[in-house]
């Protein structure tokens, strides 16, 4: 247009379009020089335009992850996550922290991190919202302190028990057409080889999982034996300078907050390792907030979907073969130990446990200190009932 107008055409185009005079002149020069064929249909040159916020500000993604970490939940059997904070709220907080972005950018980044929109789900909660909320914040703060110190933080829980044998396992897998794996028509326990009880420990800082597959009962002794295996084989090598250990656990099951056996066996472990062990329990009904559920157990479920858990070795190998794009690796072993149910810990033994409850939510937060070697062993006086 500027060329066709002749003398004064550049000025006329500048007034009509609002472009700077230099921009119009550069356009004229490009037309006279001839544009490369690949750019004739483009408004912008290759590589032009604003960079995505995660590239322009690499720290933004880490800041967003930290921001939603304390408000994140997930489904134990899927890798989906969700947060109760709105994208607009998160955008405002990110801007205040020096990472300006719109709510739509927050939504895009959350989707890339594996979050999704979720509808409300009715769940009975017996504890007051304030009590539950304070526990979530307290646990999150504890995790940050331990990680800053370079100390290990473990998220622990027992995965759903699985029947071992030629039983149908939900999910799909690739097989030659018309050649499905034939399994038992019925799921009667007597047709199988037993029950697999996976007890897991997820290292929050290193994105590593450790699973002991038990063969009989999910007990406190079994749970702590799994932690002992982790420490002896991996933990003390990965954390040679550790001064204490933090365990985040559900409030029920073999690691229940009111389970005397859990505390007794943790005392033994603390004494063996020389490390004070701090335990923070999630409130009742809040297992979905436990990081091991959506960071490790969901991935294990995906890895073995559609595969019959024919033997205990199959279970262990499938767990150990779990990998993710984020770098998760899982170590697994078969625990052939026999663990008796109904362990009773007398008051005399409980009195010897060096347990100190925290000021905040003391029923859910406590630290067990190591016992000096010359003190009376805690094994005395223990009885077992059926």
User: Tens digits of per-residue pLDDT, 142-153?
Assistant: 999 999 999 999
pLDDT at 2: 55
**Same domain membership, residue 82 and residue 21:** no
At residue 154, φ and ψ (nearest 5 deg) are: -115, 135
Confidence at 73, pLDDT banded by 50, 70, 90 = low
Q: Which residues contact 292 (CB under 8 A, 6 or more apart)?
A: 155, 156, 157, 200, 201, 202, 209
User: What are the residues whose beta carbons fall under 8 Å from the beta carbon of 128, sequence distance 6 or more?
Assistant: none
For residue 108, tell me if it sits in a domain.
yes
Residues of the chain with pLDDT > 70, as a percent, come to: 75
- Give the range among 56-70, 191-205, 269-283 with minimum mean pLDDT: 56-70
Is there a domain that residue 47 lies in? Answer: no
Q: State pLDDT tens for residues 206-227.
A: 999 999 999 999 999 999 999 9
Residues 255 and 350 in one domain: yes
Residue 124 has pLDDT above 70, yes or no: no
Pairing type for strands 329-334 and 162-164 reads unpaired
State whether 30 and 138 are in the same domain: no
Share of the chain above pLDDT 90, in %: 43
The whole-number pLDDT of residue 184 equals 54
Which CATH number fits the domain that encloses residue 322?
3.30.420.10
Are 78 and 164 found together in one domain?
no
**In the structure, what pLDDT confidence band is assigned to residue 246 with cuts at 50, 70 and 90?**
very high
Domain for residue 232, yes or no? yes
Q: Are residues 191 and 270 in the same domain?
A: yes
Per-residue confidence at 290, pLDDT binned at 50, 70, 90?
Answer: confident
Q: Average the pLDDT over 183-210 and give the result.
A: 82
For the chain, what is the domain count?
3
Same domain for 64 and 106?
yes
How confident is residue 249, by pLDDT bands cut at 50, 70 and 90?
Answer: very high
Least confident of 29-38, 78-87, 313-322, 339-348: 78-87
pLDDT of residue 29: 81
Q: Residue 22 pLDDT more than 90?
A: no
Strand-pairing partners, residue 18, are: none
pLDDT value at 174 more than 50: no
What residue numbers bound the domain in which 14 lies?
2-39
124 found inside a domain:
no
Give the pLDDT of residue 165.
Answer: 83
In the prediction, which pLDDT does 381 show? 47
Per-position b or e across 130-164, b if 16+ CB within 10 A of its CB: eebeebbebbbebbeebeeeebbbbbbbbbeebbb
For residues 260 and 346, membership in a common domain is answered with: yes
Residue 249 domain flag: yes
Q: Is residue 161 within 8 Å of residue 197, measured between CB atoms?
A: yes
pLDDT given for residue 23 in this prediction: 80
pLDDT of residue 200: 96
Do 272 and 195 belong together in one domain? yes
**Helix, strand, coil abundance in the chain, percent, nearest 5:** 40, 15, 45
pLDDT digits 0-9 by tens, 44-67: 555 566 778 888 888 888 888 877
Q: Do residues 225 and 231 lie in contact, with contact meaning Cβ atoms separated by under 8 Å?
A: no
Confidence band (pLDDT; 50, 70, 90) for 32? confident
More confident residue, 87 or 329: 329
pTM of this prediction?
A: 0.65
Q: Provide the β-strand partners of residue 277.
A: 245, 368
Indicate if 187 and 159 belong to the same structural domain. yes
Measured N-to-C along each axis, helices 9-17 and 21-33 cross at an angle, to the nearest 10 degrees, of 120
Q: Tokens in use for 349?
A: 């033994």
* Residue 281: per-residue pLDDT: 96
303 vs 317: CA distance, rounded Å: 11
- Counted residue by residue, the chain has a size of 386
Segment 182-197 mean pLDDT: 69
The mean per-residue pLDDT over the stretch 109-119 comes to: 73
Supply angle C-alpha 73, 141, 102, rounded to 5: 55
Q: Are residues 107 and 155 in the same domain?
A: no
């Amino acid at each position: 247009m500027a060329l066709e107008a002749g003398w004064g055409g550049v000025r006329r185009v500048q007034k009509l379009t609002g472009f700077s005079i230099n921009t119009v002149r550069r356009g004229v020069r490009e037309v006279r020089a001839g544009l490369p064929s690949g750019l004739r249909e483009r408004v912008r040159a290759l590589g032009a335009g604003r960079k995505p916020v995660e590239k322009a500000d690499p720290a933004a993604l880490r800041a967003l992850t930290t921001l939603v970490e304390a408000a994140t939940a997930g489904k134990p059997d899927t890798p989906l996550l969700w947060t109760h904070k709105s994208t607009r709220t998160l955008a405002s907080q990110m801007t205040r922290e020096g990472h300006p972005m719109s709510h739509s950018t927050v939504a895009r980044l959350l989707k890339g991190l594996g979050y999704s929109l979720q509808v409300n789900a009715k769940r009975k909660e017996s504890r007051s919202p304030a009590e539950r909320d304070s526990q979530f914040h307290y646990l999150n703060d504890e995790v940050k302190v331990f990680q800053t110190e370079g100390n290990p933080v473990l998220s622990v829980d027992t995965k759903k028990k699985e029947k071992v044998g030629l039983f149908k396992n939900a999910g799909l897998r690739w097989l030659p057409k018309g050649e499905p794996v034939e399994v038992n028509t019925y799921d009667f326990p007597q047709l199988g080889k037993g029950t697999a009880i996976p007890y897991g420990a997820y290292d929050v800082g290193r994105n590593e999982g450790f699973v002991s597959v038990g063969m009989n009962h999910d007990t406190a002794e079994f749970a702590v034996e799994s932690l002992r295996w982790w420490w002896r084989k991996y933990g003390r090598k990965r954390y040679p300078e550790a001064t204490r250990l933090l365990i985040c656990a559900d409030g029920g099951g073999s690691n229940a907050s009111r389970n005397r056996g859990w505390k007794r066996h943790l005392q033994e472990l603390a004494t063996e390792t020389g490390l004070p062990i701090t335990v923070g329990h999630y409130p009742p009904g809040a297992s979905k907030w436990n990081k091991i559920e959506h960071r490790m157990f969901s991935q294990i479920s995906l890895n073995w979907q559609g595969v019959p858990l024919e033997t205990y070795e199959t279970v262990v190998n499938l767990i150990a073969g779990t990998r993710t794009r984020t770098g998760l690796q899982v170590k697994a072993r078969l625990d052939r130990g026999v663990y008796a149910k109904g362990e009773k810990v007398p008051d005399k033994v409980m009195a010897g446990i060096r347990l100190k409850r925290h000021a905040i939510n003391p029923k859910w937060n406590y630290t067990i200190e190591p016992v000096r070697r010359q003190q009376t062993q805690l094994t005395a006086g223990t009885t077992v009932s059926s």
